[in-house]
Amino acid sequence: MSISDRLPDYPVNSDFVRKLKSALEGGDEARLRDLICADVRHVDAVIELANDDWMKDPSAPLPPGVLVGLWTLEYKRELTTPLCIAAAQGHTACVRHLLGRGADPDASPGGRGALHEACLGGHTACARLLLQHRADPDLLSAEGLAPLHLCRTAASLGCAQALLEHGASVQLEGGAGRDTPLHVAAQRCLDEHARLYLHHGARVDARNGRGETALSAACGAARRPDEHARCLRLCALLLRRGAAADARDEDERSPLHKACGHARPSLARLLLRHGADAHALDYGGASPLARVLQTAACAPEAEPQLTVQELLNHGSPTVWPDAFPKVLKSCAVVPAVIEVLFNSYPQLRVSESWKEVIPEEVFQMHQAFYRSLFALAHTPRCLQHLCRCAIRKSFGRKCFSLVPLLPLPETLQNYLLLEPEGILH
């Protein structure tokens, strides 16, 4: 019988567990220390913190995990040990006390050991104590995750350093996604973790279960604005260490597809200047430009026109003219995107019927721009615009690098690079 199948020493309805939960919920460190260091009968006691086995009480309402008809039952039981609780809470003195009494550092009745818990909480001192008492640095949890996979916050950098000093493998694949520690760092924008793993020999282009490299994972994760700078540093680090800018995942999406899907111009620029292919198509036939156009209306605050500019200035094909009304319909709320895209054509026939796809409130909000657009319905583009298109065609995918070398005022260079002005001429 496995440890998780045996009766716990302290079941969920016991007086001890009620006191323990009260101390945890109230943040009562002194009471918690007394309970786990003095009141338990033995150091490796199994404690049951939760048990939602509704089968024990047939009159109980079915939990959401039960799909009536399909009979998919989910039974959640949370088992732990005093050492796991102490490590999860960062109580170094308790961890030292329990280890001194012979607690097993690798006991994991609930699926995670004390070292996993210490790393999840970013408790470096606890992690070092456990490792000094021969905790297995590569112990796998019930989900197949090693402690390094649980170093998921900036505070866990010390834990990651301690694990590597004690022989943890930086190449281990973990969990259902088969992520390496470098993938985990990339997904969470932990640039210092990534630097540490690369220093210890992590393979920069290792693939996870979805065919993603760390660079691809970093570009595909949604970011808060305050994380963008860290993500950019991490991606620049990976590229300097030899990451392939065009590595495709199982859906044939490149890092550029993913960066454009989140409308992140600085990241798109970084990838493009490291050779990412602006022409690339994924399995669904979408280009990076299509990805940012799909996102534009959902994230106008990300200034998607800047990403569109980067792509077009690196030689991305523009939208097929007949598809322009669809773009107008989906991106109408971001007229700067329409302007940049419209100016990438030497001449595009404007139809009065396009007005029908623009919501009235959007038209009224951006009247100046849309009036200038429909004023071109029966008028050819100006000579200056045609000259711009001729120069851009000649420079091709090197527009971004050649235009700044031209002996022209900055305003004209910006014009050549499709900088939006708010109206069309």
Topology of domain 1-57+77-157+180-198, CATH = 1.25.40
Q: What is the DSSP letter of 179?
A: B
Three-state DSSP class for 405?
helix
Residue with the two structure tokens 């996870």: 208
How many angstroms separate the Cα of 416 from the Cα of each of 109, 246, 336, 337, 389? 65, 27, 16, 16, 8
Give me the tens of pLDDT residue by residue for the chain, a chain 425 residues long: 344 456 789 998 899 999 999 988 888 888 988 898 888 888 999 999 887 654 444 454 545 544 444 444 455 678 999 999 999 999 999 999 999 999 999 999 989 999 999 999 999 999 999 999 999 999 999 999 999 999 999 999 999 999 999 999 999 999 999 999 999 999 999 999 999 999 999 999 999 999 999 999 999 987 777 788 899 999 999 999 999 999 999 999 999 999 999 989 999 999 999 999 999 999 999 999 999 999 998 888 889 999 999 999 999 999 999 999 999 999 999 999 999 999 999 999 999 899 999 999 999 999 999 999 999 998 899 999 999 999 999 999 999 999 999 999 999 999 999 999 999 98
Cα end-to-end distance, the chain, whole Å: 79
CA torsion sign for 307, 308, 309, 315 is positive
Evaluate whether 205 touches 170 at the Cβ level (below 8 Å): no
Single-letter amino acid code for the residue at 167: G
Evaluate whether 168 touches 135 at the Cβ level (below 8 Å): no
Radius of gyration of the chain (CA): 29
Please give the Cα distance from 186 to 35 (Å, whole number): 39
Domain boundaries, the chain: 1-57+77-157+180-198, 257-425
